[in-house]
Amino acid sequence: MKNLKEQILDSIEDTLPEIKVRRENINHAPKRKDVLTKTEKILAIKNALRYFSPQHHEILAKEFSEELNKYGHIYMYRFKPEYEIKPRNIEEYPHKSKQAASIMLMISNNLCDAIAQHPDELITYGSNGSVFQNWVQYRLTMKYLAEMTDEQTLVMYSGHPLGLFPSSKNSPRVVITNGMVIPNYSKPEHWEKFYALGVSQYGQMTAGSFMYIGPQGIVHGTTITIINAGRLKFKSGSDLSGKLFVTSGLGGMSGAQAKAGVICGIVTIVAEINKKVIETRHSQGWVNEFYSDLDELCKRVKKAKEDKEAISIAYHGNIVDLWEKLFQENIVPDLGSDQTSLHNPFAGGYYPIGMSYEDANKLMTENPEEFKKAIQKTLVKHVDLVNKLSEKGMYFWDYGNAFLLEAGRAGADVFKNENDFKYPSYVEDIMGPLCFDYGFGPFRWVCTSCDPKDLEITDKIACDVLEKLYLNAPEEIKQQLMDNIHWIKEAKKNNLVVGSQARILYADSEGRIKIAQAFNEAIKEGKISAPIVLGRDHHDVSGTDSPYRETSNIYDGSKFTSDMAVQNFVGDSFRGATWISLHNGGGVGWGEVINGGFGLLIDGSEESKEKIQSMLFWDVNNGIARRSWARNKGAIFAIKEEMKREANLKVTLPNFVDDKIIDNLIF
């Protein structure tokens, strides 16, 4: 048997690997819709065969056509490697470029069984968040990364490695685009077709950019959201004991709600239709108990509230049935939300009431029109119940999953007026004004040694930096700093690491730069044993233009533009990023968002020090400048502070017009 390095360097041109049967004991992606015409199916097969020499075409053409018929997509299962895909110490990957090796580690993390939602279909999260379209793309990419030098850049088109191009040491090692299409061809049905043809993919956010760190990232964001939702609702600080939070979804990101609920000390019920998903979260300890019987569940919830337990309870069933029961029993949650995958409403992201999970999956592929009707009917009822409970005092928010958008399209009663929804998106009320406008966003790092001891040292360093910043921080950001100091102190105890040795916290530009510089220094001094990958979620200050989520608190009419996200990607590329990515889709659906991210490997060198300063500064302040131009008060404050700190920063500031002048205008 060849060792790992030999296998990664192996060519797919040699003999064909043994045919593989899909593993049955893991979660698989739903069958994709049969959207191609006969001519297009032939094109899809021809497209797939481009990767192989003609000697293999006869066998593979038949095999790929079977995959296309059976699964609606050609995954090339046969080419999944024999070795276990998991994050390993950076030195275990064959490489000529350390930067390239760090990217191999990050890809391996996104696709390992412990992390990926549908590992065999190369989906990391969100039911369609692809790292690659097929296993040959994975293999070719790993081989390119193993062979490339610091004088080359790997160009990736939606999972397809176009090739290595000569560049320079300071260029990114990989430039990724996912799902970029001509705007008129950016409807979900276009994605279905392009993905089936093998010419595009939905990279979600950190899936296709190799920056997913497991559910920890989202646990942190969710914790911040729940605490601040509580502060908004109760105006009485952060004590949520004895209060009730109801939501749905225990999947890739939504699963974080159960854990975050417990961290916040609130009683949390999460409805989840897929039993396998509940079992996974239960075995991880993120879900404490689960019930299929609504009467039993209600009894348990009442007791948990009385006893002020910090507990997460899963309901195995449809969220709409849960809302209905709570309404009937007059159990009014204090906080409510939804995190089904409504960015993908008609292809497995949301399930209708009145039928089993299995029957729904069947209807979805056999009669998509009927399935769509059932989904829309369910959404109307869903909103009706949320409205009734909200009238009784529940604070409900849209969790960036396109719930209000799709419910509105289904004809549900979600509108306050012609343009606005009745409920805020969590970014409008919480993330935007409290975090993004001040530059606070999901900064993260990964220890490439894969050694928990390194992670522990970084936690301590990050905490020290934040505590120092807190001492002289302006009032406006003290709460954010304090929440994150608390988070990082508890992080190890909360046992959040799944996959790579990674950590997340929210920090502003100053915090991110100071933490990163302190890491760089510690690597130089040998206190941390190996380089560190810095990155962030795309769901951040500058990385994402998404009118119903990240940029939903932009009120100057520019929320449907995507200059910020594109500029961010370009700006990061020449300020030192090791890899960069730009995506269409992610979070709220194809055609609904443009987002991007980066990875930056720091190794204790002077070059790393310069890149940290230049790239992280831009990566945050681009977004603050845009938010400030949109007249967001927090952002105006934050960008003025940054201009005081950095003489070379000169940002165009908005003037405010007196309302009296406007009121006198006649149109």
Ligand X SMILES: NC(=O)c1ccc[n+]([C@@H]2O[C@H](COP(=O)([O-])OP(=O)(O)OC[C@H]3O[C@@H](n4cnc5c(N)ncnc54)[C@H](O)[C@@H]3O)[C@@H](O)[C@H]2O)c1
Give kind and range of the element (H or E) at residue 305: helix 294-306
Residues 614, 575 contacting (CB under 8 angstroms): yes
| Helix and strand numbers, DSSP H then E, in the chain | 23, 17
Residue 321 Cβ vs ligand X, minimum distance, rounded to whole Å: 8
CB of 184 to ligand X, least distance (A): 24
The residue ranges that bind ligand X (CB under 6 A) are 117, 125-127, 218, 221-222, 248-254, 271-274, 277, 318-319, 339-343, 349-351, 399-401, 539, 587
**Beta-carbon count within 10 A of 652 CB:** 8
**Residue 298 beta carbon to ligand X: minimum distance, rounded to whole angstroms:** 17
Compare residues 144 and 399 and give the one whose CB is closer to ligand X.
Answer: 399
Q: How far is CA 434 from the centre of its chain?
A: 20
Residue nearest to ligand X (CB): 251
Q: Nearer Cβ to ligand X, position 41 or 220? A: 220
Closer residue to ligand X in complex, CB, 589/599: 589
The first and second tokens of residue 233, run together, are: 């609702």
> Which pairs with CB-CB distance under 8 Å and at least 24 residues apart come from 156-161?
158/133, 158/199, 158/200, 158/201, 158/203, 158/208, 159/122, 159/130, 159/131, 159/132, 159/133, 159/134, 159/201, 159/203, 159/208, 160/133, 161/137
End-to-end CA distance of the chain: 78
* Residue 209 or 254 having the CB closest to ligand X: 254
Encoding tokens for residue 356? 């089993």
| Per-residue three-class SS string for 499-524 | CCCEEEEEECHHHHHHHHHHHHHHHH
CA distances from 488 to 206, 216, 444, 456, 462 (A): 22, 12, 12, 10, 8
| Nearer of residues 146 and 502 to ligand X, judged by Cβ | 502
Nearest approach, Cβ of residue 487 and ligand X (Å): 15
Are the C-beta atoms of residues 641 and 625 closer than 8 Å to each other? no
Q: How far is the CB of 453 from ligand X (least distance, A)?
A: 30
CB of 446 to ligand X, least distance (A): 19
Residue 319 or 541: the one with the smaller Cβ distance to ligand X is 319
- Min separation Cβ 41 and ligand X, Å: 27
- Which residue number, 221 or 543, has a Cβ lying nearer to ligand X? 221
Cβ closest to ligand X, residue 198 vs residue 217: 217
Whether 594 contacts 622, CB under 8 Å: no
Using the minimum distance from each CB to ligand X, give the nearer residue, 442 or 531: 442
Q: How far, CA to CA in Å, does 608 sit from each of 91, 173, 454, 530, 615? A: 19, 15, 18, 14, 10
Q: Which residue(s) pair with 177 in the sheet?
A: 157, 582
Closest CB 584 distance from ligand X, rounded Å: 14
CA distance 79 to 137: 10
Among 110, 115, 127, CA closest to 73: 127
CB of 541 to ligand X, least distance (A): 15
Task: Tell the smallest beta-carbon distance from residue 482 to ligand X (Å).
Answer: 21
SS3 154: strand
Nearer to ligand X, 448 or 546 (CB): 546
**Considering beta carbons, is residue 449 or 551 the nearer one to ligand X?**
551
Please, which residues bridge with residue 291 across strands?
A: 315
Residues 310 and 241 sit within 8 Å (Cβ to Cβ)? yes
- We find the least distance from the C-beta atom of residue 347 to ligand X, in angstroms, to be 11
Smallest separation (angstroms) from ligand X to the CB of 273: 4
Which CB atom, from 250 or from 473, has the smaller least distance to ligand X? Answer: 250
SS3 401: coil
